[in-house]
Structure 1
Amino acid sequence: MEKQQRNFGTWQLTSIMISSMIGVGILVIPRTATELLHQMGWLGPIAGAFVASLAVAAIVYLGNQFPGLTFVEFMPKIFGVAIGTLCICLFILYQFLNAGITARLFGEVVVTSVLPQTPLEVIIITLLLLVVFLCCHEIEVVARVNELLIPFLLLPSLLIPLVSFMNADWYNLLPFRFESWTNVMKTGLNTYTLYTGYELLMVYFAFAIPGARLGVASMTGMSFSLVVYLITVVAGITVFGYEELQRLVWPTLELVKVTQKTGWFLERFESAFLAIWVASVFTTIGNMLYATIFSLRRLFHKGIRFQQITAIVIMMPLFFLTLVPQNIVELFSYTQHLTNVGYLITIIIPILLAITQFIRNRFNKGREVNNAKGGT
């Protein structure tokens, strides 16, 4: 296996985390958050961030415990070879399926909003070809691409919701009460998927330079994503009201159209927004698929040639996977099923890994102290 250099800085890790988390989900978050909490839907992104932060803290701990190692190397060390290999396979399969679902969602948005005459298959295959090209390079290229595109993601993500406040009716946020904490918890578990992508840090943390601040990178990425999702939900509620949000397929895109009517200089503002959003989705899917293929490379102890061949071979089954849902309703159903599986992959396994490693460290430390006392 080729030796990889560790040259990811704190900002590059932050860029990867933000780019991985902000993608297709931003277009549906106002509807998802208000489904159960109604006018208090702004609590949804906060509850989701809390759930995700538990897993992120566990991944940061693991990254500090195993510098230079991806989850492919440290999972068998913690769980044993059999269970560790099973968890590795589950992680790789989950990322593969998630990349496929995200690509299909991307295609649906583009076809329904901007290019109605273009076949869905053409949109998806174009995106996948770009992603495969990225996956044929070494991992340093991923960091540079994320770092290059992150400015184009940061500004529009904040600007669109803030400008739409010009049309806001703040009474739509009233009254400040919710029916039960159960609905808050359910919404939190639904909206945590907006932050998924953080689990990819179990791959990318391995390439952090010595001294890179993993905790700072993680919390900066999480905080920015939370702010973006929070103001997007508040904008959706204040502009449309929670009842109307439930009737919109892509509520954030409707926010963009409302922003356009405020007298901005662009005639088709949603087209400009989607052009920038394409870069965001590209980095999201690119980071997912690269982590999947690179993990296979690490699992089989191969080099860049294996990675390039795998990237090309894997594209066809991924393409056909994106076409499995027959319509948008079925697509959202598949997404919900994948979310349910994601609880295990992105929350439970990282937390169990961190707890097991922590207990093992405490046990080994106690045993060393006892041996030292026995020796004296």
Structure 2
Amino acid sequence: MKSFEYGDKEIGLLDISITVTSMIIGVGILMLPRELAKTVQGSDGWISMISAGILAIGVAWILAKIATHFSTQGYYAYATAAVTKPIAFAAILFLSLYFLSFCAFEVRAIANIAKQYLFETTPVEVIAFAFLMVNVYAVSGSRVGLIRLNILFIPIVLFVTVLVLLFSLGMVDVKELKPFFTTDWKSLASATKTTAFSLLGFEVILFYITMMNRPKDAPKAVAIGVLIPLVLYTSIYLVCVGVFSQLALPEITYPAVELAKEMTIPGEFFERFESIFFTIWIMAVFTTTVMAYDCTIYGLRSLFTKPKHKTWVFILSPIIYLLCMYPKNLSDFSKMSTLISYTGIVVSILFPILIHAVAKLRGVKSDAS
């Protein structure tokens, strides 16, 4: 029994589960109900969400199982032994660039939404810069401290979200959820792809596996980490359909925030609960962004060992800012989101699976025993 369990630099099953949940829960859910409503009929989006969830949990389990094979030596060393150093270098570099793009996307997304709901007269460039600076400060500290921060923030985020859902139930019109099972399979497949993109984030296990005190728990931990957002996302989607209707949802940019605006609390204790909801949700986006930032540094430091941690923090910050400011409009921003999602599937899922397959064929030393 440790005298101070959270004072060490090792993390356990709960830490990884909450970390994966924190990484997945971000700006995606704020827009996901609208994207599903554009594709499916009635409330059939839940079918796609469950399908995408089962797929994501399965892939996350496989990825975590692969990660246990390099829980001590690290992804780069394992890949180098399997597919030669140049190919391993490219694989880790692309993975790091993916996390870098992920970070930039979250910064721009939160700036766009904050401008619409909180800071209407403030330029989006200023909001993005301020949010990025907070991330720079956070990522400059201890890596294990960031993971502990997730355990502090996520219960608050989940509590406020559940509160919004509960107080919105009175506005749900069950008739809006009908008819059931009327969407064709092609539309359901398209909606499944959209939802699967929103469930990306479990790939952080490729780096954070080296910090686990019991790496064998990683598959179970990431499965739980994906399951929590899946339940939350499905609940938010169904309530949004019941409140706004499937026909109206495609016209609402951020249905989840609008849901907080429409909800009523007995006694009218809060008049603008959406501001509170969004402020709390910034905590969730913050943890997603700062971990993507941290994973970028984690990957680059395994390739370039001389620069210190803080040196990478300050080198990357202007790159992230310029990248997040690159989209000129919502169309460009949407294209950026799609590109990042496809890139993530290739570099964080397909590459590790292929590298592991080669490692098995070549009999590379594994840490899983």
Contact 2:93 2:299 in 1 (8 A): no
Cα offsets for 1:44-77 (capped at 9, x unmatched): 3212223322321222112222222432332223
Change (3 A) 1:364 1:121: closer
Partners in 2 of 1:356 and 1:155 — Cα distance?
44
Structure 1 residue aligned with 2:316: 314
The normalised TM-score by structure 2 is 0.90
Amino acid at match of 2:352: P
Post-superposition offset of 1:264? 4.4
The normalised TM-score by structure 1 is 0.89
Structure 2 residue aligned with 1:118: 122
Q: 1:1-376 to 2 correspondence within 5 Å? A: 7-39=10-42, 40-210=44-214, 213-260=217-264, 264-302=268-306, 306-358=308-360
Change (3 A) 1:76 1:200: same
Cα offsets for 1:253-272 (capped at 9, x unmatched): 11111114765421110111
Change (3 A) 1:241 1:135: same
Partner SS, residue 326 of structure 1: coil
Give structure 1 stretches of 5+ with no counterpart. Answer: 366-376
Change (3 A) 1:6 1:326: same
Contact 2:24 2:200 in 1 (8 A): yes
Contact 1:47 1:187 in 2 (8 A): no
Give structure 2 stretches of 5+ with no counterpart. Answer: 1-7
Structure 2 residue aligned with 1:368: none
Farther-moved stretch of structure 1 (255-264 vs 187-196): 255-264
Structure 1 residue aligned with 2:3: none
Farther-moved stretch of structure 1 (76-85 vs 305-314): 76-85
Considering only aligned residues, what root-mean-square deviation do their CA atoms show, in Å? 2.2
Post-superposition offset of 1:232? 0.7
Contact 1:15 1:221 in 2 (8 A): yes
Post-superposition offset of 1:32? 1.7
Contact 2:51 2:192 in 1 (8 A): yes
Contact 1:30 1:251 in 2 (8 A): yes
Contact 1:7 1:207 in 2 (8 A): yes
Amino acid at match of 2:36: A
Amino acid at match of 1:59: L
Change (3 A) 1:263 1:172: farther
Amino acid at match of 1:329: S
Amino acid at match of 1:58: I
Partners in 1 of 2:151 and 2:103 — Cα distance?
21
Partner SS, residue 68 of structure 1: coil
Post-superposition offset of 1:298? 1.8
Partner SS, residue 179 of structure 1: coil
Percent of residue pairs identical: 24
Amino acid at match of 1:150: I
Amino acid at match of 1:154: L
